[in-house]
Amino acid sequence: MSRSAKGLLGKPGYRNAKRPEFAADPTRPPALSPRCAPYRAGALSGTMHTMRNPRISAADLHVHTTASDGTATPRQVLEWASARTGISVIAICDHNTVEGALEAASIAHEFPIEVVVGQEVESADGHILGLWAPERVAPDRSATETIADIHAQGGLAVIAHPFAPHWWHKHGLSRGERPIYDECAYDAVEVANSTPLLFLANFHARAYWRENRARLAATGGSDAHMLHAVGTSLTLFEGSTAADLRAALESRETRGWGPGFSATRAWRYARRVKEIRRRNIESQERSRGR
């Protein structure tokens, strides 16, 4: 190979690399250009995917704002995501409301990032992400009813943080009740969630996805309630736009990636968990008219 054909560190440059392919394991990043090899053992960032390998883009499909129990406004989230993460698509999914997502969508033209209007519905059977669902879905109903409402407005339904500990939520899907998963018409399952206490639950979610990959897409979402968490778990897809992302989800060609357990991230989360909990209680009261 000629010197001019080589990239960084004397390895083949991007132009000579083979077309990237996804790994069978949703926890592994797709095959990247050889020049990215030094990054494989480190933290995988959205910036690396979008800048080093433009065929593969990254999205964060589970982000909260001050419209529910997040600590950053929609504008702050978009500013951070655009400047610090390199993701090309973000889904704002506040608890039982689309206010934060609609606000983010209204100012998205100011940023190099596309916004998917979403919501995290607290159904009677657990939490469900409604993506491309601009109309609020009422909480506290069955998973079947919730998913039907999401689909009725052209949205996609995602199982949020499945197999979480019993005490994380009180009932249903969060307890990992397999019959409920299997009987409902979900479109995808979240296999990577950056909440520190859910790192073991992610392993169970990945295993469930592997068993059901013929009917379910895999997603990754940070479940960010603080700015530093945005973009720490990713949905990887071929293309660069929200339309490309949706097409990849519908054809079940996405992958979810998460960084595993981090003591630093757990410490940052613990520092603000009381504030997040207070905001969560307040948002639940607002969403239920109490």
**Tens-digit pLDDT profile for residues 230-287:** 999 999 999 999 999 999 999 999 999 987 666 676 666 666 666 666 666 666 667 6
Tokens linked to 130? 């409604």
Q: Is residue 23 a part of any domain in this protein?
A: no
- Residue 200: what pLDDT? 84
> In CATH, what number is assigned to the domain containing residue 219?
3.20.20.140
Q: Is residue 130 a part of any domain in this protein?
A: yes
pLDDT at residue 219 greater than cutoff 60: yes
What strand order describes the sheet that includes 126-131?
A: 217-221, 188-193, 156-159, 126-131, 114-123, 89-92, 56-63, 234-238, 255-257
**Bridge partners for 238 per DSSP:** 56
Q: Is residue 106 a part of any domain in this protein?
A: yes
pLDDT at residue 95 greater than cutoff 90: yes
What is the mean pLDDT of the segment spanning 205-216? 93
**pLDDT-derived band at 216, boundaries 50, 70, 90:** very high
Q: Is residue 201 a part of any domain in this protein?
A: yes
pLDDT at residue 170 greater than cutoff 80: no
Q: Is residue 86 a part of any domain in this protein?
A: yes
pLDDT, tens digit (0-9, with 9 covering 90-100), for 105-124: 999 999 999 999 999 999 98
Which residue, chain included where needed, has tokens 């009677």? 124
Ramachandran region, residue 102 (left: φ > 0; alpha: ψ -120 to 50; beta: rest) = alpha
Lowest pLDDT segment from 128-132, 141-145, 158-162, 180-184: 180-184
- Residue 28: what pLDDT? 45
Q: Is residue 41 a part of any domain in this protein?
A: no
Q: Is residue 21 a part of any domain in this protein?
A: no
- Domain residues for the domain of 52 are 48-287
- Nearest-Å Rg of the Cα atoms of the chain is 18
pLDDT, tens digit (0-9, with 9 covering 90-100), for 55-92: 889 999 999 999 998 999 999 999 999 999 989 999 99
- Residue 168: what pLDDT? 54
pTM: 0.76
- The beta-strand segments (E) located in 94-187 are 114-123, 126-131, 156-159
- Per the structure, how many domains does the chain have? 1
Helix (H) or strand (E) holding 78: helix 74-80
DSSP string covering 152-178, please? HTT-EEEE-STT--TTTSSSGGGGT-H
Of 103, 99, 77, residue with least CA distance to 90? 77
pLDDT, tens digit (0-9, with 9 covering 90-100), for 6-40: 333 333 332 333 333 444 444 444 443 332 332 23
CB half-sphere exposure, 41, CA atoms < 13 A: 1
Q: Is residue 143 a part of any domain in this protein?
A: yes
